[in-house]
């Protein structure tokens, strides 16, 4: 069978599976819709969290990014996994004990303030939309390259699927669909990685092959890669170009941002007990680590294969994947010196080849000449990653609108049935808006992802951590901290990314910290301002201090949850 | 109440210790001392590079499971665990 036939079969089979799971597990109450009835098994919840978290960016873009950045790509690996330690130790068990449904619920109740709740709702919606637009785009790319349907139709098909199970199933449908999607995506990631590891190094485990010698007897993979890179004028693969402080700041912003993302936090409301919330964060990280430790190995294999395949080879002899990706515009060859040979080198003036980093994972199986079904499998995996994340985000948006804005804000008298309908309508509207961004992406989608992490790091994380670990933290302190943190981070990113992109270089950054790392400064400012303001204003009321006492011990979590549902 | 305070102080101590390790493997071995560690090579890996792209992630996973073990034990010691069947 051809690549296209395999892709069609595998994608259709996986979609059928998701719809079947969604129908089997549809939601009937708001409890089901928001937190899957609070009854999800911790291992399954870990899997669902992993699928929720690992987006098109993790699946499609990350290994490519590392492939081109080498050592500097480590910030994504550590940043997007280390956050789970913070989540497990500082947030998950306490938020689970608190009960309720959302992050704005916690911020609003703990700081006894409607203003704090609204600030949190707006941040949650903004962060989620930013993210979801990127997912829909990923869906479009996969469809257009492998199924020949055009990016727009691809996005429409993706919207239809997500609409079906997010709107019908709510959190319950999404959780069980995500379990299925995790299985598809991890299988699709590991199969080509194992194949390529065996071809390149002879080791079955990619994490071992990563540090092993090459099959062709030219020494260790990483040394060979350093050598090849140096020869062609690129930075050595295992050395970085970013400053230590900047690497530090970006890693911290990504870690803290991860721990502050509303669609990740909300997962820990779905398990039955506090102990289950703790272990569930552990399982989530196990499932994430499986992909995240494989990714840098894939990146190194892909880089080696790519350099060997294209560098100094005649253009006319390029394999079919090369021309296929040229058709999508994601590979560009410009024969500057007219010799018909591809000069792929570090010097921009002499370099003739531009490769979009997003295609590395998708093109990898073809570059390594793996069987056609593996190529189709990778397409299905990429779609699983994009759809699972999109669904989780849409749920946060619909919950924010129906629960936080309507029920807790505008109209508290609304009945459960009405609230459920509102949540479904909000999810539907959100799907359509997300689809629009997928079809007609504003040029700044990629830029805005730095925003999402920066905002989560500089707003939610400090507010929640202080809400749990300090009984003295009060309304004035938390709100002042969030506003200063967000404003600083947003201003820093907007200034360097949109207002003066020409000044976006190390000598103009504060302390040499790039906009990607701005969330770290924002977070520190948030903490500092909040603590200072709280010291000069009245402590929180007695019942709030009691609430903090209460969320610090696990006993009573299950019972409180039962009553609530 | 004093029991609750003792429970909370123990919890904070565990968290402090585990986060110190968390900081050490990622920001320490993966970033700050990475250049020094790169002088040591194990198989094809320079050690600092390995910590940044592999080792820190394995330690993160271990830290969470150690935390879960310690906290479940602590909950039972101070009799604040969730009761069986009461979920």
Measured between alpha carbons, how far is A434 from B11 in angstroms, rounded to an integer? 42
Residue A559 with chain B: CB contacts under 8 Å: 86-87
* Contact between chains at B31 and A223 (C-beta distance less than 8 A): no
Residue A306 is assigned to a structural domain of this protein: yes
Cβ <8 Å between B31 and A93:
no
Q: How far is B54 from chain A (nearest CA, A)?
A: 6
pTM of the model: 0.89
Q: Does B42 touch chain A (CB under 8 A)?
A: yes
Chain B residues whose CB is inside 8 A of the A221 CB are: 44
pLDDT of residue A562: 44
Q: Residue B83: pLDDT band by 50, 70, 90 thresholds?
A: low
CA–CA distance, A316 with A47 (Å, rounded to integer): 45
| Chain B residues close to A213, C-beta within 8 Å | 44
d(C-alpha A300, C-alpha A467), whole Å: 43
Residues of chain A positioned with their CB less than 8 A from the CB of B45: 210-211, 222
Residue B86's pLDDT is 41
B81–A278 C-beta distance less than 8 A? no
For residue A458, give how far its alpha carbon lies from the nearest alpha carbon of chain B (Å): 19
- Mean pLDDT in chain A? 84
The yes-or-no verdict on residue A159 having pLDDT over 60 is yes
Does residue A282 form part of some domain? yes
Confidence of residue A219 (pLDDT cuts 50, 70, 90): confident
Which of A83, A210, A211, A563 best tests the B interface by mutation, with the highest count of B CBs <10 A?
A: A211
Give every CB contact of residue B39 below 8 A, 6+ residues apart in sequence.
B46, B47
Minimum CA–CA partner of A546 in chain B:
B1
In a domain, A18, yes or no: no
Q: Please, are residues A307 and A227 in contact by the beta-carbon 8 Å criterion? A: no
Interface of B with A in 63-82 (CB under 8 A): 63-65, 67-68, 71-72, 75, 80-82
Give percent of chain A above pLDDT 70: 95
In this prediction, residue A564 carries a pLDDT of 43
State yes or no: pLDDT of A445 exceeds 80. Answer: no
* A564 inside domain: no
Q: How would DSSP label each residue in A278-333?
A: HHHHHHHHHHHHHHHHHHHHHHHHHHHHHHHHHTT-BGGG--HHHHHHHHHTSEEE
**B75-84, long-range: CB within 8 Å, 24+ apart, which pairs?**
B75/A275, B75/A554, B75/A555, B78/B3, B78/B4, B78/B6, B78/B7, B80/A553, B80/A554, B80/A555, B80/B4, B80/B7, B81/A275, B81/A554, B81/A555, B82/A273, B82/A274, B82/A275, B82/A554, B82/A555, B82/A556, B82/A557, B82/A558, B83/A555
* pLDDT range class, residue B87, cuts 50, 70, 90: very low
Distance CA A506, CA A21 (A): 49
Structural domains counted in chain A:
1
Over 70: is that where the pLDDT of A448 sits? no
- A3 found inside a domain: no
Taking the C-alpha atoms of residue A387 and residue A173, their distance in angstroms, rounded to an integer, is 13
Are A284 and A46 contacting, i.e. CB atoms less than 8 angstroms apart?
Answer: yes
Can you say whether the dihedral through the CA atoms of A238, A243, A244, A245 is positive or negative? negative
User: What ipTM was reported for this prediction?
Assistant: 0.93
What is the rounded average pLDDT of the residues A48-60?
A: 86
A353: left (phi over 0), alpha (psi -120 to 50) or beta: beta
pLDDT digits (tens, 9 = 90+) for A224-272: 888 888 888 888 888 877 888 888 999 999 999 999 888 888 888 778 7
DSSP state of A147: T
Q: What are phi and psi of A539, to 5 degrees?
A: -65, 160
Q: Is residue A12 part of a domain?
A: no
Q: How far is CA A21 from the centre of its chain?
A: 23
> Which range marks the domain in which residue A317 is found?
30-558
pLDDT of the residue at B85: 44
Question: Which B-chain residues 3-32 have CB contacts (< 8 A) with chain A?
Answer: 4, 7-8, 11-12, 15, 18-19, 22, 26-27, 30-32
A211 to B43: CB separation less than 8 angstroms, yes or no: yes
Closest by CA position to B43, among listed A71, A208, A230, A300: A208
Give tens-digit pLDDT for A387-401.
Answer: 888 888 888 888 888
Contact A88 B64 (CB under 8 A): yes
Q: How confident is the model at residue A50 (pLDDT cuts 50, 70, 90)?
A: very high
Task: Say yes or no to pLDDT of A447 above 90.
Answer: no
Model confidence at A297: pLDDT above 80: yes
| A146 within domain boundaries | yes
Query: Could you report the per-residue pLDDT of A511-532, keeping only the tens digit for each?
Result: 778 888 889 999 999 999 999 9
Q: Give rounded-to-5 percent helix, strand, coil for chain A.
A: 75, 0, 20
State the Cα–Cα distance between residues A423 and A414, nearest whole angstrom.
12
Closest partner residue to B7 (CB to CB) among A89, A207, A553 is A553
Burial class (CB in 10 A: 0-12, 13-18, 19+), A559: middle
- Looking at the DSSP bridge assignments, the partners of residue A112 are none
Domain holding A175: CATH number? 1.20.1730.10
Mean pLDDT of all residues in A131-144? 75
Give domain status of residue A9, yes or no. no
């Amino acid at each position: 069978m051809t690549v296209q036939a395999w892709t069609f079969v595998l994608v259709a089979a996986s979609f059928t599976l998701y719809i079947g799971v969604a129908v089997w597990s549809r939601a009937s109450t708001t409890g089901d819709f928001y937190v899957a009835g609070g009854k999800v098994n911790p291992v399954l919840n870990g899997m669902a969290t992993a699928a929720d978290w690992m987006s098109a960016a993790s699946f499609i873009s990350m290994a490519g990014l590392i492939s081109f950045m080498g050592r500097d790509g480590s910030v994504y690996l550590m940043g997007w996994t280390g956050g789970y330690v913070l989540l497990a130790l500082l947030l998950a068990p306490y938020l689970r004990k608190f009960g309720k449904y959302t992050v704005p619920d916690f911020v609003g109740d703990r700081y006894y303030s409607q203003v704090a709740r609204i600030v949190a709702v707006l941040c949650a919606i903004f962060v989620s939309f930013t993210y979801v637009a990127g997912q829909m785009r990923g869906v479009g790319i996969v469809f257009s390259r492998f199924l020949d349907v055009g990016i727009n139709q691809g996005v429409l098909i993706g919207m239809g699927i997500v609409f079906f199970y997010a709107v019908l199933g709510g959190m319950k449908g999404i959780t069980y669909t995500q379990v299925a999607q995790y299985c598809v995506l991890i299988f699709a990631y590991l199969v080509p990685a194992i194949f390529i590891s065996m071809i390149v190094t002879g080791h079955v485990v990619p994490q071992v092959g990563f540090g092993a010698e090459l099959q062709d007897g030219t020494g260790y993979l990483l040394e060979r890669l350093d050598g090849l890179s140096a020869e062609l004028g690129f930075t050595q693969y295992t050395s970085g170009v970013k400053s230590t402080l900047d690497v530090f700041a970006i890693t911290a912003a990504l870690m803290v941002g991860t721990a502050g993302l509303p669609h990740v936090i909300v997962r820990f409301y779905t398990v039955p007990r506090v102990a289950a919330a703790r272990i569930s964060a552990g399982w989530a990280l196990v499932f994430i680590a499986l992909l995240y430790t494989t990714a840098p190995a894939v990146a190194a294999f892909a880089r080696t294969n790519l350099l060997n395949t294209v560098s100094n080879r005649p253009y006319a002899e390029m394999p079919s994947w090369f021309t296929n990706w040229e058709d999508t515009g994601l590979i560009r060859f410009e024969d500057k010196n007219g010799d018909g040979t591809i000069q792929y080198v570090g010097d921009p003036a002499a370099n003739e080849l531009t490769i979009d980093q997003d295609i590395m994972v998708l093109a990898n199986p073809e570059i390594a000449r793996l069987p056609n079904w593996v190529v189709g499998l990778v397409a299905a995996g990429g779609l699983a990653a994009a759809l699972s994340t999109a669904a989780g985000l849409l749920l946060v948006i619909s919950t924010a609108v129906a629960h936080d804005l309507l029920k807790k804000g505008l109209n508290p008298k609304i009945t459960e049935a009405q609230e459920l309908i509102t949540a479904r309508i909000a999810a539907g509207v959100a799907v359509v808006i997300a689809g629009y961004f997928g079809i007609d992406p504003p040029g700044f989608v990629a830029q805005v992802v730095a925003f999402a992490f920066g905002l989560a790091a500089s707003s939610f994380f400090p507010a929640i951590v202080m809400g749990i670990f300090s009984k003295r933290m009060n309304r004035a302190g938390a709100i002042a901290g969030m506003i200063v943190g967000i404003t600083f981070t947003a201003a820093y990113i907007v200034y360097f990314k949109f207002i003066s992109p020409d000044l976006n270089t190390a000598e103009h950054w504060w302390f040499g910290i790039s906009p990607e790392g701005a969330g770290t400064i924002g977070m520190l400012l948030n903490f500092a301002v909040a603590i200072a303001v709280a010291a000069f204003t009245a402590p929180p009321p007695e019942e709030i201090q009691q609430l903090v006492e209460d969320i610090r011990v696990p006993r009573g979590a299950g019972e409180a949850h039962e009553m609530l549902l | 109440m004093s029991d609750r305070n003792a429970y909370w102080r123990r919890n904070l101590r565990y968290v402090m210790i585990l986060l110190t390790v968390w900081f050490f493997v990622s920001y320490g071995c993966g970033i700050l001392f990475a250049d020094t560690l790169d002088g040591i090579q194990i198989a094809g890996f320079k050690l600092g590079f390995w910590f940044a792209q592999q080792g820190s992630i394995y330690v993160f996973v271990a830290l969470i499971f150690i935390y879960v073990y310690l906290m479940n034990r602590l909950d039972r010691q101070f009799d604040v665990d969730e009761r069986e069947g009461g979920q």
